[in-house]
Amino acid sequence: MKRVAALWLMLSAGSAFAGDLTIEQAMERFEISPLVADILHAAEADCAAFDGTMTIDSHLGIVPADLDGDGGQNSWGWPDDTVINFNFIECSSGPVWFNTGGAPIHFVLDGQVAAGWIAHDWQVVRFSDFVPALILIGRHGSVCDGYGAQSCVQAVVVQEGAFLTPVHAEPLGAQ
């Protein structure tokens, strides 16, 4: 019974995410490049247009990652690339970014180059010496000529500052 009560308290606390951050708090917590800030501010404006307030999951909304396999780090010692995952960023007025295909996921390389896809999930896999990092993106089944609930994974390679994949990035707003 205690577990049920604890779960109810967690779920009724008001927000879908356990460690929510405002955009200002996220900018203090993470070393955010101007490009990442532009993407977040554009999203905040979209949310405000629907009379909402944007919150970012403190663990999964903005993630430092090594997308290109170069081992680069920012001044805090974190990987120098960034993933902005709108599956974990919400607008209080409703599902501004979500659809059956997921939500925008922006990949920002060295704070300079961004590409994004509508997806459910992502993962970086260490692949080989020739391809040190491979980004796997969980997409809507229709991207793989299937139906929505079918599994579909798109592979993206980052080389020479560019995102390379057979299915090109989608325009997702500020990039």
pLDDT in tens, 37-58: 999 999 999 999 999 999 998 8
Q: Would you say 59 and 20 are in contact if contact means Cβ atoms under 8 Å apart?
A: no
Alpha-carbon distances of 62 from 85, 88, 145, 149, rounded to whole Å: 6, 9, 30, 26
Domain count, the chain: 1
What beta strand segments (E) does 19-173 contain? 20-21, 54-57, 62-65, 81-85, 89-91, 103-109, 113-119, 121-125, 134-138, 153-159, 162-164
Residue 89 lies in a domain: yes
HSE of 88, CA atoms in CB hemisphere, 13 A: 20
Q: Which tokens is 112 given?
A: 């300079």
| pLDDT in the model for residue 169 | 65
Using alpha carbons only, what angle is made at residue 86 by residues 85 and 91, rounded to the nearest 5 degrees? 150
pLDDT at 12 (0 to 100): 32
Q: What per-residue confidence (pLDDT) applies to 13? A: 38
Residue 170 lies in a domain: no
Residue 103 lies in a domain: yes
Asked if residue 69 belongs to a domain, the reply is yes
Backbone angles phi, psi at 44, to 5 degrees: -60, -40
Assign 89 to helix, strand or coil. strand
Provide the pLDDT for residue 16. 45
Q: Containing domain of residue 121, as a range?
A: 2-164
93 lies in some domain: yes
The pLDDT of residue 129? 86
Among all chains, which residue has been given the structure tokens 């247009």?
A: 49
User: Residue 37 corresponds to which tokens in the numbers above?
Assistant: 């800030």
Label residue 173 left, alpha or beta by phi (over 0 means left) and psi (-120 to 50 means alpha).
left
Q: Is residue 172 part of a domain?
A: no
What's the confidence (pLDDT) of residue 81? Answer: 94
Start-to-end CA span in the chain (Å) = 48
pLDDT at 89: 93
Residue 40: count of CB within 10 angstroms of its CB: 22
User: Do 36 and 108 form a contact (C-beta atoms < 8 A)?
Assistant: yes
Structure tokens at 161: 């500052």
pTM above 0.85, yes or no: no
Q: Identify whether 84 is part of a domain.
A: yes
| Residues of the chain scoring pLDDT < 50 | 1-17, 175
Q: Quick check: is 175 in a domain?
A: no
